[in-house]
Amino acid sequence: MAEPRKIDRAERAARAAAARQEAERREKRHRRLVIGLTAGAVAVVVAVVATVIYVDTADERALAAAAEKPIEGVKEYGGKYGKDLGRDHVTTDVTYDPLPPVGGNHDQYWQNCGVYTDQAQVKDRNAVHSLEHGAVWVTYDPSLPAAEVAKLREAVSVSDYTLLSPYAGIPSPVVASAWGEQLQLPNADDPRLAVFIRKYVNGPQTKEPGGACSGAVGTPA
């Protein structure tokens, strides 16, 4: 039986060097693959983010442009921007017209902005004071389906100067009010609601710009 060939030192060194070179080649291939995959993933993320930003920016531009124009269906009370509506502070109930009210004499304490689930939580004369400070008050028929109410919650969440509450006996399923301005809506999906909020939250009708909408009356949900 032939004896195994002895491997001298030079050959062992050559084989070790070849093994190292092969390992380095594999490592380089792996790094290139990882870098390629990472770059591809980053490119996808960047593309998605860019698309979202573009869509949001485009939607924002469209909303802003719509808010610069008259909104179909908005009814004005008390002259332009409600300039003729009373603004005295009172301690007794006020008979308002229309309902929900859009202005007039009101309580010295405003209603804290936010979402309310019970009409009893929001008194007209407190909410009117909030309107004076630039808030938009969105009211809805108490029988409105929960899915519709959820959409209204989403709609008012865009600003800290909004009120949302049920209101029995209103003339349409949803009513949006600002000082001197009111819009009746058939449902929560009406695109005019977003435009109304954009136009009148701290809008040109605001009688006390910078007035607070927190720290007074009410505990929102």
How do residues 101-124 score in pLDDT, each as one tens digit?
Answer: 999 999 999 999 999 999 999 999
Predicted confidence band of residue 125 (pLDDT cuts 50, 70, 90)? very high
R_g over Cα of the chain: 32
Same domain, yes or no, for 95 and 193?
yes
pLDDT at 51 over 60: no
What pLDDT is stored for residue 48 in this prediction?
A: 38
Shared domain check, 113 and 65: no
**Is there a contact between 162 and 123 (Cβ–Cβ < 8 Å)?**
no
Which pTM value belongs to this model?
A: 0.75
Same domain as 193, residue 84:
yes
- C-alpha to C-alpha distance for 123 and 140, rounded to whole angstroms: 15
> What CATH number is given to the structural domain containing 91?
3.40.30
* 128-146 pLDDT, tens digit each: 999 999 999 999 999 999 9
Same domain? 194 vs 97: yes
Strand order in the sheet with 162-166: 75-76, 181-185, 174-178, 136-140, 162-166, 114-115
Same domain, 61 and 90: no
Residues 6+ apart with CB under 8 A from 80: 180
Evaluate whether 176 touches 196 at the Cβ level (below 8 Å): yes
Same domain, 129 and 65: no
- Three-state SS for 104? coil
Residue ending a domain, among 16, 46, 69, is 69
Which pLDDT does position 23 carry in this prediction?
A: 64
Say whether both 81 and 123 belong to one domain: yes
pLDDT in tens, 64-98: 999 999 999 999 999 999 999 999 999 999 999 99
Which domain does 19 fall in, by range?
1-69
Q: In angstroms, rounded to a whole number, what is the distance separating the alpha carbons of residues 196 and 74?
A: 9
The residue from 45, 69, 93 where one domain ends is: 69
Task: Select from 27, 43, 69 the last residue of a domain.
Answer: 69
- Residue 15: the pLDDT is 65
Identity of residue 5: R
Let me know whether 95 and 175 are in one domain. yes
168-174 contacts, C-beta under 8 A, 24 or more apart = 168/119, 168/141, 168/142, 169/99, 170/99, 170/100, 170/139, 170/140, 170/141, 171/98, 172/141, 173/140, 173/141, 173/144, 173/148, 174/138, 174/139, 174/140, 174/141, 174/144, 174/148
> What's the structural domain count of the chain?
2
Q: What SS3 state is found at 93?
A: coil
Cα–Cα distance measured from residue 181 to residue 213, given in angstroms and rounded to the nearest whole number: 19
Q: Are residues 34 and 96 in the same domain?
A: no
Local confidence band at 57 (pLDDT 50, 70, 90 cut-offs):
confident
Looking at the fold, whether 34 and 90 belong to one and the same domain comes out as no
